[in-house]
Structure 1
């Protein structure tokens, strides 16, 4: 199936955006790929937009840079009917969630918080990061994330990513998001 982009204002009809939100090491990027694979197998139109990739610039222009980039490319995605968009990201607060919604107008947003025990998150970031500088920064960020008191206000539902396969967690997210 191929979609042609046409000039004019995209409708965003039927576009759903799933934000995979969680601490570093919670499995956002890995699970976004697992969900995408499940959607591919069911032939559902979908896309993964990684905000980290949209902001990979040095020196960093700031957190808003990724949202500005999302807003700039959104019309291309919104032109695809019934698209399901997966965005792995850490939401800093409810305001940032609202800013993401504004960058993708007319879409239905769902926020799934991914969770695992704190010691597991720290182990995961230590194993995956290339050096002590990034390992230390992300372990500190895990601590900061777990000290937050607003997490329940931001998420629509929560999925545990510890002690289960990517496929099992992806199935649960798809089912709870109403994408099955």
Structure 2
């Protein structure tokens, strides 16, 4: 039940192959074990429509509408904490303030991995025709996120670490 406290969102961002989804699920497990109420949204699914709407070629408006609809359902249940994963979510603070409220507390977490680690993870995961494209985009996004992530972003290295350790560091950054 919502206690009147402001909404909070943990944004888990990072290049492809960094482990965003895996870490988010482990963060959720850590929070469940602690009895901390929360909900989890896989942001990559918010804009999966083809073709893109004519008036929304980058699919940002449909992402926001879908997120608003899902958040409304969770908020109606009394939720006030959201875990959200998406490559660039740390760059989208304005969208989260529009959806969760202007006073929402945003905790941006950028997961990092070097090129070799990301390539190895993606090669194991992406077995279809898009593997090389994912690897190229991943390297590009790593540089883009490194340059443009807000100053308050918590950076969490994932190279050579267990998912449990990474998730605990991310949860610690939230104070939840």
TM over 0.5: yes
Which one is further off, 111-120 or 98-107?
98-107
Distance 1:107 1:175 in 2: 18
Matched with 1:6 is none
Matched with 1:113 is 110
123, 146, 152: which one aligns with 2:142: 146
Question: Which one has more relative contact order, counting CA pairs under 8 Å at least 6 apart?
Answer: 2
Distance 2:137 2:4 in 1: 34
Divergent runs of 4+, >6 A: none
Q: Flag the 1:100–1:14 CA change in 2: closer, same or farther, 3 A.
A: closer
Equivalent residues of 1:14, 1:81 under 8 A apart: no
SS at 1:124 equivalent: helix
| Alignment size in residue pairs | 169
1:50 has 2:42 as partner: yes
Distance 1:141 1:18 in 2: 24
Unmatched 5+ residue regions in structure 1? Answer: 4-9
Q: Normalising by structure 1, what TM-score?
A: 0.82
Unmatched 5+ residue regions in structure 2? Answer: none
17, 21, 25: which one aligns with 1:25: 17
Distance 1:12 1:74 in 2: 16
Q: Normalising by structure 2, what TM-score?
A: 0.83
111, 121, 125: which one aligns with 2:122: 125
For residues 117-167 of structure 1, what are the alpha-carbon distances to aligned partners after superposition, in whole Å with 9 as ceiling and x for unaligned?
Answer: 111112211210131x32112111112113325334265211111211111
